[in-house]
Structure 1
């Protein structure tokens, strides 16, 4: 299984270009890079809609100030 955020935006772009230009199937490319097929489809969709910037690694955690953090109820 692949690591989260293992690939940089530049590496993701190279992989997407390989998908577009290669005779290899998407599934074979997913196996080659140890990436879930749905992840590749997600990268491609986001890239087609919004360009290179969206390929950058996203953080899912927000840093809160002490005041904001006290307002969060788990």
Structure 2
């Protein structure tokens, strides 16, 4: 079973930024879609550090933003 059946993550649509107070901003196609603070931000950054490759990072960001398995991510 393939998680990314439509190969959307191959295009690297997600990105993230961390500001000086450790708030994480997750972007999808250049638009901010999620803000993580405190323990959620720490957990996210730990997962990103442990990710094996860019596709794994993309999957982590897709899961954290939600609704990206239903085909409504236009």
Q: Normalising by the residue count of structure 2, what TM-score does the alignment of the two structures yield?
A: 0.33
Structure having greater relative contact order (Cα 8 Å, sep ≥ 6): 1
Between structures 1 and 2, the one with greater strand share? 2
Q: Normalising by the residue count of structure 1, what TM-score does the alignment of the two structures yield?
A: 0.33
